[in-house]
């Protein structure tokens, strides 16, 4: 693969941009509020260190060693592994479509902040869904929001130019998509500390209620968030690892990525919890962390200052910067699929990226319809939770038990100084701990899934079961498409024989 990041710093920027995204700013704090605050945070941090960091190192090291995307990396682990790699890439594409829709929501909010602030904090929790998206709440499509549709289209244009630029564009974009949203999240968090019951909010966030640790849902959702937030088992980190300079020290680099991911998650949770308690919005906690955030952040913006114009200015900056974060997340997901496709089929980046964006952008316009809020909940649940869990379990077994996987500790530590990945801990985590924990916790969740979710049947099939099944079928389909044709068949086609 010819493309490379020019330095370790650029790789870190791009990887942090991929890891630190809407999963941290929207999904994590909402799930944290739903599953017990401090208890969820405790499990998340433990899982990040024990399970997330080893797999993150393994994916980066595989990418650099193989110099290829997920299909090539997985194929190096076991025969037929290319199918798993393509499935990971397809799951990333589904996530990118979802993220583009959310980026359109966020950008639409940037244009709606001043009316939001003028309407008052009372209307803020439902402002986006009622006034901007015109959501029906029941999954029925009765119309489309022109503003949201235009914003989604603008997002895809931005994503195209990021994809077209390759590795340099990925790292350059991260300078704006990470630091600006973090600065504004810090402002909202500081404002939240001035609410009268901020101490109660911080206690709920940081003091675990140990009785809640008995709930399997907290554990499995925290583990799922670790893998999703670090962009693991979806093809991103192998693709970025393939762009990594040869002598880069992988282990310290991965710790920086994991620390940045955890920091932004906690910061966003402080912003959300202090607003939840300060504005009395505990009743706005929904099934999806993303939906919760779209109810709480508008209230945080509307109540930042007494001066509504100042609230509006900060709100525009916040939502615009958050939309950039969403664009970076979506681009990272698409790059995970685009990179191996370009290499496998010898295609031109610009033209292929354009075709990706036009087709997928058209599909994502459904997130501008009145059914969008329900579709986001379903898509997030299946694509970003159930699919990621299954892909993680298979990948951990493959890495932990394959001959190629056993040598990854040496690849990780090849250019390390004193700070090295512990070989025994690395092997135990991927070989035994991660698969066993995920299987034990995921099994009851999948059983519950068959009992029904209460969503409309068409929406659940198209964006739930359908998307989940399509991810794994795509692995076999791409494997067949990428196989070289027999020489005799190529010759007969060339001379026009049918």
Give the Cα separation of 136 and 398 in Å (integer).
44
Is 1 inside a domain boundary?
Answer: no
Which residues fall within 8 angstroms of residue 2, CB to CB, at 6 or more apart? Answer: none
Q: Look at residue 296 in the predicted model and tell me its pLDDT.
A: 82
State yes or no: pLDDT of 19 exceeds 70.
no
Give the Cα separation of 27 and 329 in Å (integer).
13
Q: What's the structural domain count of the chain?
A: 1
Q: What is the DSSP string of 107-150?
A: HHHHTTHHHHHHH-TTTHHHHIIIIIS---SSS----B-HHHHH
User: What b/e readout covers 428-447, taking b as 16+ CB neighbours within 10 angstroms?
Assistant: ebbbebbbebbeebbeebee
State yes or no: pLDDT of 376 exceeds 80.
yes
State yes or no: pLDDT of 1 exceeds 70.
no
Q: How far is CA 151 from the centre of its chain?
A: 20
Per-residue pLDDT tens over the stretch 336-371: 899 899 988 889 999 999 999 999 999 999 999 999
Look up the domain containing 450 and give its range: 8-494
pTM of the model: 0.86
Q: Look at residue 459 in the predicted model and tell me its pLDDT.
A: 85
Percent of the chain with pLDDT over 90: 43
Q: Is the dihedral of CA 159, 164, 168, 172 positive or negative?
A: negative
Helix segments in 279-418, DSSP class H: 289-302, 308-345, 349-364, 372-381, 387-401, 403-406, 408-412
In sequence order, the β-bridge partners of residue 369 are 144
User: What b/e readout covers 292-319, taking b as 16+ CB neighbours within 10 angstroms?
Assistant: bbbbbbbbbbbbbeeebeebbbbbbbbb
Count the alpha carbons within 13 Å of 276 in the hemisphere toward its beta carbon.
Answer: 27
Count the alpha carbons within 13 Å of 314 in the hemisphere toward its beta carbon.
Answer: 23
First to last CA, the chain: 36
Is 135 inside a domain boundary?
Answer: yes
Highest-scoring range by mean pLDDT, 35-39, 46-50, 112-116, 120-124: 46-50
Nearest alpha-carbon partner for 182 in 418, 19, 373: 19
State yes or no: pLDDT of 495 exceeds 80.
no
State yes or no: pLDDT of 90 exceeds 90.
yes
For residue 489, what pLDDT band results from cuts at 50, 70 and 90?
very low
In sequence order, the β-bridge partners of residue 413 are none
Per-residue pLDDT tens over the stretch 178-220: 677 888 889 889 989 998 899 999 999 999 999 999 988 899 9
Per-residue pLDDT tens over the stretch 424-471: 999 999 999 999 999 988 888 888 777 767 778 888 888 888 888 999
Q: Look at residue 231 in the predicted model and tell me its pLDDT.
A: 87
Give the Cα separation of 390 and 386 in Å (integer).
6
Is 2 inside a domain boundary?
Answer: no
Is 77 inside a domain boundary?
Answer: yes
The answer to whether the beta carbons of residues 92 and 235 sit under 8 Å apart is yes
Give the Cα separation of 85 and 467 in Å (integer).
16
- DSSP code, position 413: T
State yes or no: pLDDT of 111 exceeds 90.
yes
Per-residue pLDDT tens over the stretch 250-294: 998 899 889 988 999 999 999 989 988 888 877 666 556 677 778
In sequence order, the β-bridge partners of residue 144 are 369
Degrees to nearest 5, angle at CA 455 with 123 and 86: 110
Nearest alpha-carbon partner for 352 in 342, 340, 366: 342
- Return the CATH number at 373: 1.20.1740.10
Give the Cα separation of 364 and 101 in Å (integer).
6
Looking at every residue in the chain, the average pLDDT score rounds to 86
Q: Look at residue 62 in the predicted model and tell me its pLDDT.
A: 94
Is 314 inside a domain boundary?
Answer: yes
The answer to whether the beta carbons of residues 55 and 430 sit under 8 Å apart is yes
For residue 498, what pLDDT band results from cuts at 50, 70 and 90?
very low
Q: Look at residue 245 in the predicted model and tell me its pLDDT.
A: 81
Q: Look at residue 294 in the predicted model and tell me its pLDDT.
A: 81
Is 162 inside a domain boundary?
Answer: yes
**401 CB-contact burial (10 Å; exposed 0-12 / middle 13-18 / buried 19+):** middle
Nearest alpha-carbon partner for 282 in 305, 304, 299, 265: 299
Give the Cα separation of 301 and 291 in Å (integer).
16
Per-residue pLDDT tens over the stretch 115-161: 988 876 677 888 899 999 999 888 889 999 999 999 999 999 999 98
Is 243 inside a domain boundary?
Answer: yes
CA distances from 139 to 95, 378, 390 (A): 19, 10, 27
Give the Cα separation of 367 and 21 in Å (integer).
19
For residue 494, what pLDDT band results from cuts at 50, 70 and 90?
very low
State yes or no: pLDDT of 170 exceeds 70.
no
Q: Look at residue 117 in the predicted model and tell me its pLDDT.
A: 87
Per-residue pLDDT tens over the stretch 121-131: 677 888 899 99
Tally of CB atoms within 10 A around 216: 15
State yes or no: pLDDT of 60 exceeds 80.
yes
Is 16 inside a domain boundary?
Answer: yes
State yes or no: pLDDT of 2 exceeds 60.
no
Q: Look at residue 258 in the predicted model and tell me its pLDDT.
A: 92
Mean pLDDT within 298-320: 86
Helix (H, G, I), strand (E, B) or coil at 105: helix
């Amino acid at each position: 693969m010819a493309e490379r990041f020019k330095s370790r710093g650029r790789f870190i920027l791009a990887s942090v941009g991929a890891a630190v995204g809407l999963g941290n700013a929207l999904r994590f704090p909402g799930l944290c509020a739903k599953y017990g605050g401090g208890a969820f945070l405790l499990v998340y941090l433990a899982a990040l260190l024990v399970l997330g960091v080893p797999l993150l190192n393994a994916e980066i090291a595989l990418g650099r060693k193989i110099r290829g995307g997920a299909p090539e990396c997985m194929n190096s682990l076991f025969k037929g592994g290319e199918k798993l790699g393509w499935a990971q890439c397809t799951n990333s594409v589904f996530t990118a479509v979802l993220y583009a829709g959310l980026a359109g929501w966020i950008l639409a909010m940037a244009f709606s902040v001043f009316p939001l602030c003028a309407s008052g904090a009372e209307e803020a929790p439902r402002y986006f869904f009622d006034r901007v998206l015109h959501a029906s709440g029941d999954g029925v499509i009765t119309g489309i929001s022109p503003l949201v549709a235009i914003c989604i289209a603008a997002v895809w244009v931005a994503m195209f130019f990021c994809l077209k630029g390759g590795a340099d564009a990925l790292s350059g974009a991260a300078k704006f998509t990470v630091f600006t949203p973090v600065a504004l999240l810090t402002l909202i968090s500081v404002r939240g500390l001035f609410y009268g019951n901020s101490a109660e909010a911080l206690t709920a966030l940081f003091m675990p209620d140990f009785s809640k640790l008995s709930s399997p849902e907290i554990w499995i959702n925290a583990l799922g968030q670790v893998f999703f937030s670090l962009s693991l088992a979806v093809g991103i980190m192998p693709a970025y690892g393939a762009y990594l300079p040869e002598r880069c020290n992988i282990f310290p680099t991965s710790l920086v990525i994991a620390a940045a991911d955890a920091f932004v998650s906690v910061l966003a949770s402080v912003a959300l919890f202090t607003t939840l308690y300060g504005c009395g919005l505990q009743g706005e906690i929904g099934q999806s962390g993303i939906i919760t955030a779209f109810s709480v952040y508008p209230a945080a913006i509307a109540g930042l200052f007494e001066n509504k114009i100042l609230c509006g200015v900060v709100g525009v900056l916040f939502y615009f910067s958050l939309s950039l974060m969403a664009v970076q997340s979506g681009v990272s997901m698409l790059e995970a699929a685009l990179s191996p496709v370009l290499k496998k089929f010898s295609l031109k980046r610009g033209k292929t990226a354009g075709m990706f964006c036009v087709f997928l952008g058209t599909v994502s316009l459904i997130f501008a319809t009145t059914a969008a809020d329900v579709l986001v909940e379903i898509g997030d649940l299946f694509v970003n939770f159930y699919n990621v869990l299954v892909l993680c379990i298979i990948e951990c077994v493959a890495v932990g038990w394959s001959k190629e996987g056993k040598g990854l500790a040496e690849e990780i530590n090849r250019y390390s100084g004193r700070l090295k990945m512990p070989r025994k801990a690395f092997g135990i985590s991927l070989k035994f701990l991660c698969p066993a924990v995920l299987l034990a916790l995921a099994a009851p969740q999948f059983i519950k899934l068959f009992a029904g979710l209460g969503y409309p049947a068409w929406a659940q099939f198209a964006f739930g079961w359908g998307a989940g099944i399509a991810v794994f079928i795509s692995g076999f389909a791409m494997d067949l498409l990428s196989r070289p044709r027999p020489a005799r068949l190529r010759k007969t086609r060339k001379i026009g024989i049918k």
